[in-house]
Amino acid sequence: MRKRFEFQAEKADSKKRLEDFLFERFENLSKMYLRDAVKSELCEVNGRFENRGYRLRANDFVEVEVDPARETAMRPQDIALDVVYEDESLAVINKPSGMLVHPTHAEKNGTMLNALSHYLNHEKGDKAFTRAGLIHRLDRHTSGLIVVAKTPRAHRVLAGHFQRKLVDKRYLAVVDGVVEADAGTINAPIGRFVERKYWDVNEDGKHAETRFKVMERFASATLLELEPVTGRTNQLRIHCAHIGHPIVGDVDRGGSPFLRMCLHAWKLAFWHPDGSRRLEFEAPVPEVMTKEVLQG
């Protein structure tokens, strides 16, 4: 049930974005939910509906209607995380296969965001709640590197870098069969088949491009490095299956059954949001992805 909340901006809130002001006051509600509240005109500033980027002034009167009991991604849970790097602006996580990045309608617990809510706040006491900001995602069964923002500014800057393709992402995949070409590019549009609720190559879909390079060949499989030039839903899985070499473990797309889907985000490089330096990270391919292939 929605309730109405009233706040008065203080001097310290001057020039703060309206969405950031709300994020700080409703730490247990998701950013998407709060943004939707502003978009749906459930938030007023001095009696007027403003957009989420409105810059507050001291003494502005903010009224908002939200459901404080709403289930969100911010519920802290003490779940182990492999933190590759962290500073005041961001954190880079090596996500394991099988972990959801964020809660869904069906699953509310055990996700990377639940774990981050605990990790970033369990020793802060009365200090302001740190909200992990998702900039990109990995499929549940894909392991590897993912960057999250720790401040609203870092989130906006990094999101802009992703949109402008200033971020370098490389994946490793073990695929069925021996890929003959040493390198190449897969161009095949991807779209959603509504009746099947399924994403696949679709002539009416959006342009999708993936570059690949052979890293190693085995008796009946190939280790590929994949570079997604575009970022369509399930792109790497779809494109590998499209060229007749589905990812091992991706049984939904014709891959051989395995302990996990053999797709791993192994390289990630981007500019720090303060512009001071280029950050580069690697997470070596998990042994389980190649162990059985090597033995074969």
Active site residues: 139
Q: Whole-angstrom Cα distance, residue 26 to residue 160?
A: 25
User: Residue 28 is encoded by which pair of tokens?
Assistant: 């247990």
The answer to whether the beta carbons of residues 74 and 29 sit under 8 Å apart is yes
Classify 176 as helix, strand or coil: strand
93 closest CA partner among 114, 74, 116: 116
HSE, side-chain direction, 13 A CA sphere, residue 271? 14
With a CB cutoff of 8 Å and minimum separation 6, the contacts of 3 are 65, 66, 67, 68
Sign of CA dihedral 115, 117, 121, 125: negative
Neighbour tally for 56: CB within 10 Å: 20
H or E, element range at 5: strand 3-8
Sheet holding 43-45, edge to edge: 3-8, 61-66, 43-45, 48-49
The answer to whether the beta carbons of residues 84 and 135 sit under 8 Å apart is no
The answer to whether the beta carbons of residues 111 and 102 sit under 8 Å apart is yes
User: Residue 283 is encoded by which pair of tokens?
Assistant: 């997470």
With a CB cutoff of 8 Å and minimum separation 6, the contacts of 112 are 81, 93, 95, 99, 100, 101, 102, 146
215 closest CA partner among 223, 207, 205, 227: 223
